């Protein structure tokens, strides 16, 4: 192996390790969709819409 191929191999391995480190960091900070709560109304403090019957004036 000549010098250029050794440098390329080292840089390729370092790049791969950095990409894996970033991917693991993002995975640890992100909540998977299946673990999120279904009720997102509390998050935004929105009251659920309630259908009420109108009183008829007959």
> Which residue, 57, 40, 41, 37, is CA-closest to 49?
41
Which comes out higher in pLDDT, residue 50 or 40?
50
Confidence of residue 42 (pLDDT cuts 50, 70, 90): low
Which comes out higher in pLDDT, residue 41 or 27?
27
The model carries a pTM of 0.53
8 Å CB contact between 43 and 50? no
- Angle at Cα 4 formed by Cα 8 and Cα 23, nearest 5°? 5
8 Å CB contact between 48 and 41? yes
Is the per-residue pLDDT at 51 higher than 60? yes
Q: Residue 17 is encoded by which pair of tokens?
A: 């390790």
């Amino acid at each position: 192996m000549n010098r250029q191929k050794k440098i390329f191999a080292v840089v390729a391995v370092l790049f791969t390790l950095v990409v894996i480190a970033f991917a693991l960091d993002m995975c640890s900070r992100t909540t998977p969709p299946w673990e999120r709560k279904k009720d997102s109304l509390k998050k935004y403090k929105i009251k659920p819409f309630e259908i009420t019957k109108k009183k008829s004036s007959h």
